[in-house]
Structure 1
């Protein structure tokens, strides 16, 4: 190696070392929310309480709160510009495919439709259909607390580089009573790892999450109501889940409930066919 090339190599190594050191410092020091309060952004490996890992190992589900790690008010601000779901008129939604790159940083992938086979989604309007949605806003996916959440979530499940992660913001708003699942009832989402995070819940009753051992619902495991900032983790290939319909607490006043759904490691062959087509370099569950 000549002197010029050695100098370029040393400069690149120094730059990479500085980037890694800055990343490490960002994990150790707190960030600030939009209202001036301090966010606690722990190391990725310390993001979740130990009980979460134990519960997932032994009962295949767990519930925790990440309110201290995210600026919930800022996240709620992204609900205002959600477009209406073109397939379910009473719902609003955005979604994006993400992954961790080889440096374990969060990246947004290109477009790939949501695809659920009838085995996992038996609603007549959804089964075996390709669905395209507007992507998550870049100003949302580039937030420090959003990236920290995605990295910690992937670490919790053992998700590696280039495994596609689907992240959705979806929910309902308006008047009256709405079934958020639009007839899905007890179901699985066709993946191994699934989490549901409530972003806001305003003037609503209902929306009770229920977990079952079987799709028939004869073996009930747990019921839980999620408050904003709380997240329910599910081994989706081991359990089934449902959510009850919601209604206004105060008639005539606006209500809404929005959630983030994040999942990975798809076992639905219909979805995997689309992922192979749109992301040829992706690491899929079936090829691991």
Structure 2
């Protein structure tokens, strides 16, 4: 690990310790459970309702609930150990690169930074910058219901073996009077396939997802508020999206909103350059 990467890891680890000590988050979250035997996991091809496939083909987006396919409480238990985002101090985040191997099983790849070119990130502090984050915990990525979700998600989009999949857990929390996250402008994430899954939503209002046909926001398609366990699928190369800011419903009480973002098949050349460098055997969107 080079010096820059080691420094980011040390910062993330230090922030995690401070968060746990000051926020008392160990008591706020359930202990992650490893036994998912009570869940009856469907086959990847049967994971999503037929309406999801029809809506994606017709309108490039769809919304579904997977509360019956995952142990949502167990997934929420992994939030307490999220490190503070070293680039956005008011957020917490982990991310890992995954793929399906030739046996169609989920595997975790090595480290590769998140990289968004200026075309896909309007923030001057983020555009054309390499960002390194602590990986998702192994006890999370090896859960049976997590692997089933990733396989079903890849099957839904037609993602094949060795195509890098980026999976993030990210969000905000605190005890102040207003959420520090003031929404995100209209944007695309620089990929073909994108889904947003809400893990929890506590003492907040707002965070309304809006989809547009154009980046200027003149052709509005839909607005939706995602509840825990609901997921929004988007053809990211066909549509644009935004999320409104959130505020506390009860001022002074703990608030938080955490989501999983999962995406694949990048059209951002900056990200693809990093993927080629770190995963030379990967199948990328720009490869014939």
For the aligned pair, the TM-score class normalised by the smaller chain equals 0.7 to 0.9
Instruction: Check 1:170–1:36 CA distance in 2 against 1; reply closer, same or farther (3 A cut).
Output: closer
C-alpha deviation, 1:179, in angstroms: 5.5
Note the alpha carbon deviations across 1:105-139, whole angstroms, 9 max, x for none.
00000000000000000111110000000000000
Matched residues in 1 for 2:35 and 2:202: separation?
20
Q: Is the 8 A contact 2:52 2:64 kept in 1?
A: yes
Q: What does residue 84 of structure 1 align with?
A: 84
Q: Is the 8 A contact 2:173 2:254 kept in 1?
A: yes
**3-state DSSP of counterpart to 2:81:** coil
Q: What does residue 134 of structure 1 align with?
A: 134
Matched residues in 1 for 2:97 and 2:228: separation?
23
Note the alpha carbon deviations across 1:14-37, whole angstroms, 9 max, x for none.
xxxxxxxxxxxxxxxxxxx77999
Say whether 1:214 aligns with 2:182. no
Q: What does residue 146 of structure 1 align with?
A: 146
Matched residues in 2 for 1:140 and 1:34: separation?
8
Instruction: Check 1:179–1:62 CA distance in 2 against 1; reply closer, same or farther (3 A cut).
Output: farther
Q: What does residue 260 of structure 1 align with?
A: 260
**3-state DSSP of counterpart to 1:94:** strand
Q: What does residue 18 of structure 2 align with?
A: none
Give unmatched runs, 5+ long, in structure 2. Answer: 1-32
Q: What does residue 71 of structure 2 align with?
A: 71
Matched residues in 1 for 2:43 and 2:37: separation?
19
Say whether 1:190 aligns with 2:194. no
Matched residues in 2 for 1:279 and 1:179: separation?
35
Q: What does residue 94 of structure 1 align with?
A: 94
Matched residues in 2 for 1:210 and 1:271: separation?
25
Q: What does residue 59 of structure 1 align with?
A: 59
Q: What does residue 283 of structure 2 align with?
A: 283
Q: What does residue 108 of structure 1 align with?
A: 108
Say whether 1:42 aligns with 2:42. yes
Matched residues in 2 for 1:204 and 1:243: separation?
14
Q: Is the 8 A contact 1:55 1:61 kept in 2?
A: yes
CA RMSD of aligned residues (A): 1.5
Q: How many residues align?
A: 255
Q: Is the 8 A contact 1:201 1:228 kept in 2?
A: yes
Matched residues in 1 for 2:121 and 2:194: separation?
15
Q: What does residue 12 of structure 2 align with?
A: none
User: How does the TM-score come out when normalised to structure 1?
Assistant: 0.86
Q: What does residue 236 of structure 1 align with?
A: 236
Q: What does residue 270 of structure 1 align with?
A: 270
Q: What does residue 13 of structure 1 align with?
A: none
C-alpha deviation, 1:203, in angstroms: 0.5
Instruction: Check 1:224–1:37 CA distance in 2 against 1; reply closer, same or farther (3 A cut).
Output: farther
Q: Is the 8 A contact 1:193 1:264 kept in 2?
A: yes
Note the alpha carbon deviations across 1:113-169, whole angstroms, 9 max, x for none.
000000000111110000000000000000000000000000000000000000000
**3-state DSSP of counterpart to 2:226:** coil
Matched residues in 1 for 2:259 and 2:177: separation?
19
Q: What does residue 250 of structure 2 align with?
A: 250
**3-state DSSP of counterpart to 2:186:** coil
**3-state DSSP of counterpart to 1:140:** helix
Instruction: Check 1:103–1:205 CA distance in 2 against 1; reply closer, same or farther (3 A cut).
Output: same
C-alpha deviation, 1:177, in angstroms: 2.6
Instruction: Check 1:236–1:252 CA distance in 2 against 1; reply closer, same or farther (3 A cut).
Output: same
**3-state DSSP of counterpart to 1:80:** helix
Matched residues in 1 for 2:222 and 2:55: separation?
13
Matched residues in 2 for 1:52 and 1:92: separation?
30
Say whether 1:170 aligns with 2:170. yes
User: How does the TM-score come out when normalised to structure 2?
Assistant: 0.86
